[in-house]
Amino acid sequence: MVEAKQRVAVVTGGLAGIGLAISQALLAAGLRVVIGTRSGGGAKARSAVEQNLGADASIYPLDVRDEASVTAFFEAVTQDIGEVDILVNSAGVTAHETVSGHSLSSWQDVLETNLTGPFLTIRACLPGMKARGWGRIVNLASTAARTAVADHPAYCASKAGLLGLSRAVALEGAPCGVSCVTVSPTWVETDMLRQSAAIMANKSGRSYDAEIAALAAVNPQNRLVQPQEVAALVAFLCSDAAPALTMEDISVNAGAHW
């Protein structure tokens, strides 16, 4: 088993929202953090890493929907930094469409990003983790995986599928010291949520602030969960303290079902 300070953690979608908070939490835990994003090769993305994470984080281009991109990403990370010990799949998208009006292109984009992407990244990491006898995989799902939302069917389907994938990975990795867990937040105060609130306000005719207040009122704590709350849990799940936490779906729901 390698020492914690030597471990390499990959975070997909690690430059925004929950992913950024997770990257910061893992850096604070002494890990080498590598971020994979579609914009990873650009100057703007590199500047964002330097500003928000510092010199101890690295960034590489990664399109989780594309098998060749995933392969190239992990080959580069392994060659430049080292074998991947921790994988956090945080990259995700949604589409505001009903089932009856859903376009196939947006359906496929959501499923490919939220479900096929984690499959491809896990497939790239899991053999090495098993061979080395240690690994942590955390997939960011959602309370939407267990509840229905009429105008986010692709998102709900993708996150429900992610629960099943994670359970299969947990069973495969269990004899080899590799855990796999899903973390399912309710509404979290991120740019993605704010964009959703703006779309809902436009459709409903209510103000943006009213939509945000309505989302906060869904849970008994009457507030939006903060990204750092999710990140703290993920950092724990990636540590030596959590080997038996596997095959679980942990809700960060502030007492709400959604």
Pairing of strands 57-61, 32-37: parallel
From the list 155, 170, 181, 252, the catalytic residue is 155
Q: And the tokens for 33?
A: 């953090």
Q: Give the DSSP letter of residue 226.
A: P
CA–CA gap between residue 195 and residue 139 (Å, rounded):
22
Q: How far apart are the first and last CA of the chain?
A: 38
Map tokens 């509404």 to a residue. Answer: 187
Give the distance, in angstroms, between the CA of residue 59 and the centroid of all CA atoms in the same chain: 16
Give catalytic status of residue 155 as yes or no.
yes
CA–CA gap between residue 10 and residue 79 (Å, rounded):
14
Q: And the tokens for 86?
A: 């921790």
CA–CA gap between residue 8 and residue 5 (Å, rounded):
8
Q: Catalytic site residues?
A: 155
